[in-house]
Amino acid sequence: MKKIIPLFIVVLLALAGCNMPQVVTPGNTDEPPGIAPQPSATVDLANAVNATLTALAAPLPLIPEATGTPTPTSTPGKPTISVTTATNCRTGPGKVYDLVGGLLPGETTEIVGRDLTGQYWLVRNPDVPNGFCWLWGMYATPMGEYAALPIFTPPPTPTPAPGFSVSYTGLEVCAPLYAFRFQITNTGALTWESIKIEITDTTTATSTAHTLDSFRAYDGCILDINQNDLLPGEGGPVTNVNPGQLNYNPAGHSITAIITLCSANGLGGTCVSQTLNFTP
């Protein structure tokens, strides 16, 4: 029995040694050969965040500043224009061009160009869809990036049709003679060289005619002015005297005057007539 016990104890100790946990030392970190280390989800997230922060921290590319007049709004867009006073819009930059629209206070429209003088803007016509017109800049305020807008050559100025304006201004008296005074302005492109004034007093059924190769007016009995012609845009007074005056007082009568201007002496060339009805 004394020989068996020690052997039994040795067997028990050997069996117990097979079940004892191994102690891992800090230096035992080697992976089994042939197996690569796998990154954890935590490491992947950290790397993604770091990459995002790096991208956000990178300096943004500089945006070049506009070289024109700064726009009053923070959002750049097409240049526009407004006015403080109702302003006409024409087919060209000037009063000689036809009126085709207008811009009112409180309205805006897009600017597409300007003229060489900088006094007129080529804009979208506020009154005509898909149309364009020239807006006077006196009462206008451009907005947005308009400094680089193209300069447009104005269309040719229209040739005014031959014409004139006339108005009755009063009765001239050089007793016992009476005459009518008119103010005439050449509104066309032709120069007027001669005149005819046909007077009809419908109250007395009396008629007279004044024909002359100049334009003259009397103040009472005194010659006031004598013009050889009327140039485009020029005006002046005329009276139906020598010939054509009346030998009675026509005050209160119904008068019809037909005034004819011609581009050559002797009522030649191109002639235009107008009719006035008045009571002196």
Asked if residues 136 and 119 have their Cβ atoms less than 8 Å apart, the reply is: yes
Taking residues 108-137, report their average pLDDT: 94
Q: Rounded mean pLDDT of the chain? A: 81
pLDDT, greater one: 24 or 154: 154
Taking residues 13-42, report their average pLDDT: 43
- Measured CA to CA, the distance from residue 271 to residue 83 in angstroms comes to 42
pLDDT, greater one: 148 or 167: 167
For 42, residues 6+ apart whose C-beta sits below 8 A from its C-beta are: none
At residue 130, does pLDDT exceed 80? Answer: yes
pLDDT, greater one: 57 or 99: 99
At residue 72, does pLDDT exceed 90? Answer: no
> Computed over its alpha carbons, how large is the radius of gyration of the chain?
50
Taking residues 48-53, report their average pLDDT: 38
The whole-number pLDDT of residue 266 equals 96
The whole-number pLDDT of residue 57 equals 39
The whole-number pLDDT of residue 96 equals 85
For 135, residues 6+ apart whose C-beta sits below 8 A from its C-beta are: 81, 83, 87, 88, 89, 103, 109, 120, 121, 122, 123
Domains and CATH numbers, the chain: 80-143 (2.30.30.40), 164-278 (2.60.40.2550)
Taking residues 25-52, report their average pLDDT: 41
101 confidence band (pLDDT: 50, 70, 90)? very high
pLDDT digits 0-9 by tens, 187-231: 998 999 999 999 999 999 999 999 999 999 999 999 999 999 999
At residue 166, does pLDDT exceed 50? Answer: yes
The whole-number pLDDT of residue 129 equals 82
Locate all alpha helices (DSSP H) within the chain, ordered by sequence: 4-19, 41-57
3-state class (DSSP) for residue 20: coil
77 confidence band (pLDDT: 50, 70, 90)? confident
Taking residues 88-100, report their average pLDDT: 92
Exposed e or buried b for every residue in 180-191, given b needs 16+ CB within 10 A? bbbebebebebb
The whole-number pLDDT of residue 37 equals 45
The tokens of 129 are what? 């869809």
Taking residues 38-43, report their average pLDDT: 44
At residue 56, does pLDDT exceed 80? Answer: no
The whole-number pLDDT of residue 41 equals 43
At residue 75, does pLDDT exceed 90? Answer: no
**DSSP states along 58-82:** SPPPPPPPPSSSPPSSSS----EEE
- Measured CA to CA, the distance from residue 164 to residue 260 in angstroms comes to 10
Percent of the chain with pLDDT over 70: 73
The whole-number pLDDT of residue 27 equals 42
Exposed e or buried b for every residue in 121-159, given b needs 16+ CB within 10 A? bbbbbbeeeeebbbbbbeebebbbbbeebeebebeeeee
In this structure, the number of other CB atoms found within 10 A of the CB of residue 89 comes to: 26
- Measured CA to CA, the distance from residue 1 to residue 7 in angstroms comes to 10
At residue 81, does pLDDT exceed 80? Answer: yes
Specify which residues 211 forms β-bridges with.
196
The whole-number pLDDT of residue 47 equals 52
pLDDT, greater one: 15 or 135: 135
Taking residues 261-277, report their average pLDDT: 96
